[in-house]
Amino acid sequence: TTFVMEKSNVKGSMEQSDVSVEYSGYFRKNSVRLKDEYKDLHNMIRENARARGGFGADVEFISSQQLKTQHSNCEQLLYISPLSRIRHIWDALLMLCMGYVALVTVFLACTLGTYGADHWSFWVELFISLIFILDIGANCFTGYFHSDGSIELEIKEISKHYMKTWFVTDFIACLPWNGIARAIIDNPQVIFSYWSLLRFFFLLKLLKWPPIWQEIRISKLITLIELELRWKHSYFKLILLLVQTAFLSHWIACLFYFFARAQQVFNANLTWIDLTILPTLNLTEKYIAALYFSVYTVTTIGYGDIVPITNPERIYTCVAMIIGASAFATIVAAVSGVLSEITMNDVYYRTLLDSLSLYAGMHNIPKDLHFRIRRFFTHRRVYHPFIFEAELLG
C-alpha cells in the first residue's frame, strides 16, 4: 500500500530524467559558480570546526586568547602550533629526509658500506642528522591533540608527553651512524663491513611517518588540493600502499645484495652474484637483479632463476619470504577495503536495483511502473550518486 501511495511521487521524480541533458548542460555552464559554492561550503565546515575547537581548526582562532592568558611572553614565542604553516613546512622537510634515508641511505649502506668526508652522501647524512636533532627540540614545544580534539598549550605538558612517546625513537634516529660505524671499524682501509647496517637505525624515524602525514593532511595546502582535484581519501590510501610496497621491495633487494657481497669479501664464498648473473655486471645491473628477486618474493610468485647459495643467504631469504608473504596478505586486504570504499555508491545502487527486481516480481508490479521506477533510480545514480547527503548535512 505504501508503495502504491508513493507512486505519484515517483512519477513526479521521473520527469527529471527527461531533462537530464539540459541539467548536465546547465551544470557545465555553471561549473565555476558551483565550485565557488563548494568552497563556501568548505569554509563553513571549517568555521564550525573552529567553533568546536576540534580538528581542522586554525590555531590562531582557537588558542590566541588562551596563549595570552596561560603563557608568558617567552612561552608564547617558543610555542609551536601543530596546525601552523611553519610546522607543516618543517614536517614536509622531515618527510623528504625520511624518503632520502629510506631510499638512498639504505642503498649506499648495503652497496658501498661506510665512507668518509670525501663522499657526498657523508655530508647529506650529517645534514639529516642535524635536522633530526633540531626536530627533537621543536617537538618539545609543539602542541599535540588530545583525544577530544583539543590542543595542548602548556609547554611543560607538551615536553612530558614527548619524552614519554617519541623521544627515545627520535634520539636513536638522529645519531650519526655512519661516523659511529667508521669509529668502531677503526681502519680506513676497511669500507665494507657488517657495521654498515647500523645506519638502518635511521629508519626508526619512519615510524613517525603516519602521524606526520596526518598533520600535513589537515593543512590548508592539502585541503585545497583535495578541493580542486576532488580526490577521495581512498586514492591517497592506494598511493600510500604502493609506496610502502616499493620501500619494502627496495629494502629486501638491498639486503639481499649486502649479504651476498659480505660473503664474497669476508669468506670468499660463491654467491648468487657469481652463479646466477655475470660478476662483471655493474652495480646498477646487480641492484636490478636483486630488486627482481625482491619483487617476486614479496608478491609470492617465486620464479627461481635467482636463488640464494650460501647459508647466510638462505637464512635471510627465509626471513624475507616470511615478511614478504605477511606484507602481501596485508596489502591485498587493504586494497580490497580501499576498493570497496571507492565503489561504495555503485554497490549501493546495484544492490538497490537488484532488490527492486525481486520486489517487483514478488508483488506483481506492472512492467510499466517497474520500468519507470528503475529508470528513476538509474537517473539518480548518474546525476545524484551521493548517498550520504543526510549524514553530511545533519
How do residues 224-267 score in pLDDT, each as one tens digit?
777 777 777 777 788 888 888 999 999 999 999 999 888 888 77
Q: For residues 314 and 318, what is the distance between their CA atoms, to the nearest angstrom?
A: 6
Q: 193 in a domain, yes or no?
A: yes
Position 135, amino acid:
D
Q: How confident is the model at residue 51 (pLDDT cuts 50, 70, 90)?
A: very low
Q: Are residues 251 and 384 in the same domain?
A: yes
Domain stop point among 186, 214, 242: 214
Q: For residues 62 and 51, what is the distance between their CA atoms, to the nearest angstrom?
A: 8
The pTM (predicted TM-score) of the whole model is 0.71
For the chain, what is the domain count? 3
Q: What is the DSSP string of 331-392?
A: HHHHHHHHHHHHTHHHHHHHHHHHHHHHHHHHTT--HHHHHHHHHHHHHHHHH---S-HHHH
Q: 281 in a domain, yes or no?
A: yes
Is 41 a residue whose pLDDT tops 80? no
Helix axes of 167-174 and 155-165: crossing angle, nearest 10 degrees: 70
Q: Are residues 190 and 312 in the same domain?
A: no
Q: Is 113 left (phi over 0), alpha (psi -120 to 50) or beta?
A: left
Is 125 a residue whose pLDDT tops 50? yes
Average pLDDT, rounded, for the chain: 77
Domain that holds residue 54: 28-71
- Is the Cα dihedral 36, 41, 44, 50 positive or negative? negative
Alpha-carbon 91 to chain mean position: 14
Which of 34-48, 198-212, 378-392 is least confident? Answer: 34-48
Q: Are residues 210 and 322 in the same domain?
A: no
Q: 16 in a domain, yes or no?
A: no
pLDDT, average across residues 66-71: 48
Q: Are residues 308 and 370 in the same domain?
A: yes
CATH of the domain at 320: 1.10.287.70
- Is the Cα dihedral 288, 293, 297, 303 positive or negative? positive
Q: 223 in a domain, yes or no?
A: no
Q: Are residues 370 and 302 in the same domain?
A: yes
357-365: long-range contacts at Cβ-Cβ below 8 A with a sequence spacing of 24 or more?
363/3, 365/3
pLDDT, average across residues 316-329: 91
Q: Are residues 183 and 289 in the same domain?
A: no
Helix H or strand E segment including 23: helix 20-29
Q: Are residues 99 and 187 in the same domain?
A: yes
Q: Are residues 92 and 235 in the same domain?
A: no
The confidence score (pLDDT) of residue 233 equals 72
Which residues, at least 6 apart from 267, have a Cβ–Cβ distance to it below 8 Å? 310
Q: Are residues 124 and 169 in the same domain?
A: yes
